[in-house]
Amino acid sequence: MTGDARKSYSLGELAERFGGTVVGDAATRIRQVAPLETAGPEELSFLANRKYEKLLASTHARAVILGEEAREATVLPRIVCKNPYAYYARVAALVNPEIVPEPGIHPHSVVHRGAHVAPSAAVGAGAVIEEGARIGDGAVIGANCFVGRDARIGNGTRMYANATVYQGCVIGDRALIHSGAVIGADGFGMAMDEGRWLKIPQIGRVVVGDDVEVGANTAIDRGALDDTVIENGVKLDNQIQIGHNCHIGAHTAIAGCVGIAGSTRIGSYCQLGGSAMILGHLTIADHVVISAGTLVSKSIARPGTYTSVFPMSRHDDWRRNASLIRHLHEMMDRIRKLEGEIKRIKGK
């Protein structure tokens, strides 16, 4: 919906639905959400970071969402709440409802007679659903998607066009699988035999919990023997690689281009920054934050933030610093010798 066709909501209606306190005219109506810099006269904006508070003076938004600490930072009509960013997310979803296809199986799809598709599910053109697969109530299988033999797609789950779920894999309820995602391809299992690689059959599955989002072109490998497991509420960005037999704990969020080698266990409520690399057979505790670009080469037993990226600097400065780093071991040897000499002199 765009323009006048979009439904409007009063601040009072939003507060009744999502909570919070209205300060100013509760009858103020909005149709869309927008940033403070670009918001127009029918739009609701938000302030989640006090460093942007000065933008409140110049915004053209009709109303704003604020935290309690910024309650009096503007005279605009406003909703005051505990978490403005989460409140904005809920309002954005309300005023931008997802378009859901009508239930039914497109005549240009291929559905095996041994598959079960719930009457309330929608299957798009060109989709292929193999024998024994089960598609849950209200699920949406987009155009050209593939659901392999004996796979399970949960209630209300949506697969966008060209997503793939291999044989035997399980996707929970209300998941979002974006275009190009591949769930259940073989893990990278090889054995060296007389100078040649011998492929190891990957006989596990991928088991994905409820309310999981899998970004575009993300790959989750099936287990070699046991399953690869993605627990409830996990959010995966685009172009992530998750190796075989990994276990990702509930409500962990992983940003784009992260690579996780096989048999690694990542705890719940972790956050992995973009392009972080996690070596295989490691264990990472709950509530760990890995900074972008960090290489994790050993297990992490305690919550906290971990960073291994060398800060950016001008190239000439970087070369000088890199040269120093290369000679740190020599410097340590010299320092130890000096410390020994100092002790010897003091002993005299």
Sequence letter at residue 166: Y
Q: Which helix (H) or strand (E) holds 318?
A: helix 315-326
Distance between CA atoms of 309 and 163, rounded to whole angstroms? 33
**Separation of CA 86 from chain center:** 16
Task: Provide φ and ψ at 153, rounded to 5°.
Answer: -120, 120
Residues 208 and 183 sit within 8 Å (Cβ to Cβ): yes
Helices (H), the chain: 11-18, 84-95, 315-326, 328-347
Return d(Cα 13, Cα 71) in angstroms, integer: 19
Strand, coil or helix: what is 6? coil
**Cα distances (Å, whole numbers) of residue 154 to 19, 121, 139, 260:** 30, 10, 7, 26
Catalytic one of 60, 178, 244, 251: 244
Side chain identity at 202, as an amino acid letter?
A: Q
Catalytic annotation on 60? no
Q: Go through 258-274 and write b for each residue having 16 or more CB atoms within 10 A of its CB, e for each that does not.
A: bebbbbbbbbbebbbbb
Return left, alpha or beta for 269; rule: phi > 0 is left, psi -120 to 50 is alpha, else beta.
left
186 touches 223 (CB < 8 A): no
Tokens of 292: 């972008």
CA of residue 334 relative to chain centroid, distance:
47
- Known catalytic residues are 244
